[in-house]
A and B are shown apart, each in its own frame.
Chain A
Amino acid sequence: MKSRLDEQTIALRAAREFADGAVVNLGYGLPCLCADFVPEGKTVFFQSENGVLGYGGLASDAEKDYEMINAADQPVTPAPGMCFFDSAASFDMIRGGHIDVVVLGAYQVSEKGDLANWGRPGRPATGMGGGMDLAAGAARVIVTMLHTTREGGPRIVKDLTFPLTARRCVSLIVTDLAVIEVTATGLILKEVAPGWTFREIQNLTEARLIPAADLKDIEL
């Protein structure tokens, strides 16, 4: 049975990359779901660019405090050891390489790991927010996205056609079909969604993929 992973499962797979004690920033949209999937037994400190380190999960209706939000405007809960700081200090943390992992959404990723995740066609004034700072500054950038566009076209491409966020910044791509590592020698296809073959994934990917020696089904 061949299927695509849903967004929750993509987030779950991406969250498995978090090391115990890691400082992690989650981008707008799909990446925010990772907050619910921290592997059991691990502690992760979520940083949000509006100025908080170490918040808990998403707040229930009863817990909602609109002065306690993540960068995607979602109310989150306090957690022991949490701290607050202003925007300038927050971006010192981000630009200065003090964030271990950032998970970002994307419109396109190139075979060199170039990222396009802000400029939407027909929406020239949406802005990049903290996306450029996060992509340029984090120690490791993981992209979570759907493998193809709504029309079925590729999003993992040879060269970007969407506006660049940062060059050569992406380390790992987690999609609804595959887990792909960006390396100096090219894109390594490490894992595929259950039932999919290397050839089928390659046909939906413009950039050339290299099958990993131990290519396997995505493990959850």
Chain B
Amino acid sequence: MPVNKIFKSCEEAVADIFDGATIMVGGFGSYGGLPINLIVALAGRGAKELTVIANMGGVGFELTKRIKPGGYQDMGILFERGQVKKLIASVPALGGMPPTSPFEKLFNEGKVEVEIVPQGTLAERIRCGAGGIGGFYTPVGLGTVVEKGKEKKVINGKEYILELPLTADFALVKAHKSDALGNLVFRRTARCFNPVMAMAAKITIVEVDHLMPIDGLDPEVIVTPHVYIKRIVEVRQ
């Protein structure tokens, strides 16, 4: 019998996330694809000094009302509670929103570090980390603040910047369906960063809309193979 990966609650699933851990959080930034219930459970757990790797820094409950009526919890709650030491993201704060997100407030007070990474470079650094690759050369960021301190190389007459892999202790991701082993399928644009992050952490925890029996998904359409998934929590929408 394989190990039982199914957890009864998000709280149990995040109970061993420790102070100082590096955590990937899936999604794109707004509602779709964000593992909201796992984020809230992590806020409840209270682990501190976290390094968070995510596409966006979240805008906090108040500003989410501008994205979806009624609002929702996002990454903002982790900054509100002072749990994050460093954020690695492509959009730490949204330029189209007022500078009042929990992240931006802390940043302006000098209480959180940030590393800003172009979005495609962020995805590729995570994919490298997932696949055991030591880095890659990309033209993105040439001549900009992004190239500072990085090795450059000319390949076939074109200039590139060396970018290094990212991995994490934990990844919190959202999928539409999982079978009992952790094979995952996603729904529409809620896929985004979830599959790559699911592959790049020591312990990947997935929040799913529907938990299926072991033969409940078509093997031809599995997006994330179960080998990457350690914990599954069903949260019915």
Contact = CB atoms under 8 A, between A and B. Distances in A.
Interface of A: 28-29, 48-52, 65-69, 71-73, 78, 84-88, 90-91, 94-95, 118-120, 122-133, 136-137, 163-167
B123 interface: yes
Which 4 pairs across A and B sit closest by C-beta, in order of nearness? A91-B120, A133-B120, A130-B119, A126-B95
A50 B195 CA distance: 12
Given A137-B140, A166-B142, A86 B196 contact: yes
A69 B107 contact: no
A67 B188 contact: yes
Interface residues of B, number: 55
Interface string B121-135: 111101100000000
B55 interface: yes
Given A67-B33, A68-B188, A128 B142 contact: no
A190 B168 CA distance: 51
Given A87-B196, A88-B126, A125-B107, A132 B191 contact: no
Given A50-B189, A88-B196, A67 B32 contact: yes
Contacts of A78: 188
> Main secondary structure on chain A at its contact with chain B?
loop
Contacts of A128: 90-91, 116, 118-119
B153 to A, nearest CB: 16
B33 A126 contact: no
A73 B120 contact: no
B29 interface: yes
Contacts of A119: 145
A158 to B, nearest CB: 16
Interface stretch (B2-10, B44-52, B96-104): B96-104
Contact of B30 (A73, A87, A91, A129): A73
Contacts of A125: 57, 92-93, 103-104, 107, 114, 116
A132 B141 CA distance: 6
B96 A28 contact: yes
Contact of B32 (A68, A132, A137, A163): A68
Contact of A132 (B33, B89, B118, B194): B118
Interface in B160-190: 186-190
A136 B118 CA distance: 11
Contacts of B114: 125
A79 B132 CA distance: 37
Most buried by A among B103, B143, B146, B192: B192
Nearest to A165: B144
A28 B139 CA distance: 22
Interface string B57-92: 100000000011000000000000000000001111
Contacts of A72: 96
Nearest to A91: B120
Contacts of B126: 88
Given A49-B119, A127-B116, A137-B140, A67 B187 contact: yes
B31 to A, nearest CB: 4
Given A86-B195, A88-B124, A126-B91, 19 more contacts: A28-B96, A48-B189, A50-B33, A51-B192, A66-B31, A68-B188, A84-B188, A88-B127, A95-B120, A118-B95, A125-B92, A129-B118, A130-B118, A132-B120, A132-B141, A133-B118, A136-B142, A166-B143, A166-B144
A132 B126 CA distance: 18
